[in-house]
């Protein structure tokens, strides 16, 4: 299971606000694991203002 730390590592250096597609692409470019990418692909298609907002979308 993916952890919040895994998500935050994959989003390191991300500029916000960011749309879902940008979040997923950034995580891919950071070498995010398949588990992390799958989790991010499952979030709502909207704009996120902070890394915390992305984590909340993943874990809620």
Give me the pLDDT at residue 49, please: 98
Give me the pLDDT at residue 46, please: 98
* 3-class SS string, 1-60: CCCHHHHHHHCCCCCCCEEHHHHHHHHHHCCCCHHHHHHHHCCCCCEECCHHHHHHHHHC
pLDDT in tens, 6-52: 999 999 999 999 999 999 999 999 999 999 999 999 999 999 999 99
């Amino acid at each position: 299971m993916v952890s919040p730390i895994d998500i935050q590592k994959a989003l390191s250096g991300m500029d916000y606000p960011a749309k879902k597609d940008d979040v997923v692409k950034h995580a891919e470019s950071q070498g995010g694991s398949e588990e992390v990418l799958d989790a991010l692909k499952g979030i709502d298609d909207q704009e996120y203002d902070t890394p915390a907002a992305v984590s909340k979308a993943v874990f809620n």
